[in-house]
Amino acid sequence: MKKHNFSAGPSILPKDVIQKSAEGILNINGSNLSLIEISHRSKDFVEIMNSATSLALELLNLENKGYKALFLQGGASMQFLMTAYNLLENKAGYINTGAWSTKALKEAKNFGNAIEIASSKDANFNYIPKNYSIDEDLDYLHITTNNTIFGTQYHEIPETKNNLICDMSSDIFSRNIDFSKFALIYAGAQKNMGPAGTTLVIVKEDILGKVSRNIPSMLDYKIHIDKESMFNTPPVFAVYTSMLTLEWLKENGGIKSIETKNIEKANLLYNTIDSNELFTGFAEKEDRSLMNVTFNLTNQEHKQHFDKLCIDANISGVNGHRSVGGYRASIYNALDLNSVKVLINVMNELKTII
Amino acid sequence: MKKHNFSAGPSILPKDVIQKSAEGILNINGSNLSLIEISHRSKDFVEIMNSATSLALELLNLENKGYKALFLQGGASMQFLMTAYNLLENKAGYINTGAWSTKALKEAKNFGNAIEIASSKDANFNYIPKNYSIDEDLDYLHITTNNTIFGTQYHEIPETKNNLICDMSSDIFSRNIDFSKFALIYAGAQKNMGPAGTTLVIVKEDILGKVSRNIPSMLDYKIHIDKESMFNTPPVFAVYTSMLTLEWLKENGGIKSIETKNIEKANLLYNTIDSNELFTGFAEKEDRSLMNVTFNLTNQEHKQHFDKLCIDANISGVNGHRSVGGYRASIYNALDLNSVKVLINVMNELKTII
């Protein structure tokens, strides 16, 4: 029986992608060799890498605008330090909207003057800060567009003259914004793009080469650009499966089309939370995430009932993060509307049995 | 028809491992979820990670000796900088046996006084240096046990009182040596252990914490030890498939048993090179690698014939690296003796058609 997979990440991928990915493991492009047994310099894999980077730029509408797409390793956590290593010379500003922003700021402090411009820590990060002033002399301003743990999301990107750097790990490719506002975007693959093991970095080339420190090769964006993400052996499987997911997204109408579906899924779920008195939302309404829906029971005595209903309906991955509690339904691109409806049915069913 | 895959890396993996790996992509442990769609904090994956690290220590006979096993990202190239970041305070020594040693030394220089103790560059790295003196006050001595490109391998590990650090990317798990001679061993997975995308690091815990610099979290071995390779989302698929390969190795008698097979394969091939006047070996005989057999035609006019014979026999991946030329047969653990015999037949067949 089909599982309804609301896992926060690694998370659901399109069924077709999973199928093709397994087929590639057995036999890539009819070569009688496994994808994971061939040289990364082979024609088969070079085409996969080129296709993945091209699709990423195309889907984000960033072609021919001075950006390069890289598939690196180490997750967003490696980008926390790489962004600072490559770009922090005098002062960088961070907007703190949760656990991951906090870590990004902490790592940057290894490399220089990294300051917190605004924070929503005072309310356990249940909102996105607004009405703060941004220094004009920053090397960059860093934001986290979607906060997986807390279920908040920027619905307006801050206006700034500084280079804008963004951790977009949990909402890249899910909604249509003007991506050219950003000087650098990074995203761990394991939400909307592919399996864990690779990180997409989209970087405007002209922001690089301006710091005075030596940068080790593996941490230097310029080297990865020069080597087209092949400075050393790339994470072949993760790049391949990311390419398949980006192909799936393109075939299904791209970001505009998926955004419509994501809004529909989120609206249905938030409407249930707001209309069903057994539940309450965690994030401030105006900052609610289209990707991670955080909510709780109004009465914890119903927990056992609700958890059992979820299990019986084959719903998995809805436990909230320990720092928020309650529940979190992650409704990424690949999650069907039907799975959201199953969850909503269970939420409504709870009323009939208590 | 079966390919005989002599690729240098990413390279051949056991057929059963490929099959199980593809099955895990479709459905892990009968959960009706894909391996790549589940949380890395799930019971299923935590057991995979624990099993992979335990197997690595067990197979290397390093259990209960103060070592920890880590599965990280970024390949050996990331270890070039991480080893220096974590361990280089005053002076480190490097023995230069090829392209990868050269890069390791170059990256270490970003962090302090890294010196070349000996080198075989004078003969395009076709031998392993001997009879050099090693400073006694090094933070560590770094060697590369097997040189994939040049086909050389240490058959005696240098004696030193310094901490010995080793890039074992292309010969780990292939032969039985006293691994407790090393303070730190690292190896990209994509030769004898698994697919590209993870790096095994075996580190003696008591060598850490002795440098004065700040280390960013993702580059700090201590943090990865504390978090049991789960400081952030690990490369789930690469770790899983590495675990499968280590299980396969254990089921097949472990390192001692595979070493016997590897010696048999290498001897057969080197004997052919030495006895067939159409071929000549590249590496000095006493330093020949059991993993990467580098050779060339004595007469380049035979190249077209030999290449066609290889293609007709379904042999793939035998082109030499550009810096050596000629041919390279990588005969890793998973390569059948039969594939070596097919190559030898082709080498002998060449005599009959020219």
In this prediction the pTM is 0.98
By Cβ distance, the residue of B5, B217, B235 closest to A238 is B235
Chain A residues close to B219, C-beta within 8 Å: 81
For the stretch B216-271, pLDDT in tens is 999 999 999 999 999 999 999 999 999 999 999 999 999 999 999 999 999 999 99
Contact A106 B76 (CB under 8 A): no
By Cβ distance, the residue of A31, A81, A216 closest to B110 is A216
Contact A217 B81 (CB under 8 A): yes
CA distance B244 to chain A (A): 14
Q: Kindly state the DSSP code that residue B99 receives in the 8-state scheme.
A: H
Chain A residues close to B19, C-beta within 8 Å: 26
CA distance A236 to chain B (A): 6
B262 part of a folded domain: yes
pLDDT recorded at residue B176 = 97
pLDDT recorded at residue B354 = 84
**Distant-in-sequence, close-in-space partners of A322: CB < 8 Å, separation ≥ 6:** none
Q: Which entry of B20, B68, B191, B265 is annotated as an active-site residue?
A: B191
pLDDT < 50 stretches in chain A: none
Chain A residues close to B40, C-beta within 8 Å: 10, 196
B74 part of a folded domain: yes
Tell me which H or E stretch contains B116.
strand B113-119
Q: Kindly state the DSSP code that residue B158 receives in the 8-state scheme.
A: P
What average pLDDT score do residues B63-75 get?
98
Q: Which of B2, B28, B33, B37 to mutate to test the interface with A (most CBs of A within 10 A)?
A: B37
What average pLDDT score do residues B41-61 get?
98
Residues A211 and A233 in one domain: yes
Q: How far apart are CA A101 and CA A107, in angstroms?
A: 10
What average pLDDT score do residues B51-65 get?
98
For the stretch B76-135, pLDDT in tens is 999 999 999 999 999 999 999 999 999 999 999 999 999 999 999 999 999 999 999 999
CA distance B95 to chain A (A): 20
Tokens of B351: 């005599």
Residues B57 and B93 in one domain: yes
What average pLDDT score do residues B17-27 get?
98
8 Å CB contact between B23 and B347: no
Residues A114 and A154 in one domain: yes
pLDDT at B1 over 80: no
Residue A326 belongs to a domain with what CATH number? 3.90.1150.10
Q: Which of B34, B106, B199, B220 to mutate to test the interface with A (most CBs of A within 10 A)?
A: B34
Residues A289 and A164 in one domain: no
Q: Cβ–Cβ contacts within 10 Å for residue B59, how many?
A: 18
Q: How far apart are CA A138 and CA A85, in angstroms?
A: 15
Residue B204 belongs to a domain with what CATH number? 3.40.640.10
Q: Please state the ipTM of this predicted complex.
A: 0.98
List the domain range (segments joined by +) for residue B179: 15-251
The dihedrals phi and psi of B172, each to the nearest 5 degrees, come to: -65, 145
Q: Count how many domains chain A has.
A: 2
By Cβ distance, the residue of B23, B107, B237 closest to A238 is B237
A1 part of a folded domain: no
B10 part of a folded domain: no
By Cβ distance, the residue of B10, B103, B231 closest to A38 is B10
A10 part of a folded domain: no
Residues B219 and B326 in one domain: no
Contact A237 B233 (CB under 8 A): no
B7 part of a folded domain: no
The burial of A40, by beta-carbon neighbours within 10 Å (0-12 exposed, 13-18 middle, 19 or more buried), is given as buried
Residues B52 and B126 in one domain: yes
For the stretch B173-226, pLDDT in tens is 999 999 999 999 999 999 999 999 999 999 999 999 999 999 999 999 999 999
CA distance A224 to chain B (A): 12
pLDDT recorded at residue A1 = 72
B6 part of a folded domain: no
A9 part of a folded domain: no
Tokens of B93: 């020594």
**B191 noted as active-site residue:** yes
Last residue of a domain, one of B251, B272, B291: B251
Last residue of a domain, one of B251, B278, B313: B251
Residues A234 and A316 in one domain: no
Last residue of a domain, one of A217, A251, A285: A251
Residues B69 and B211 in one domain: yes
**B336 noted as active-site residue:** no
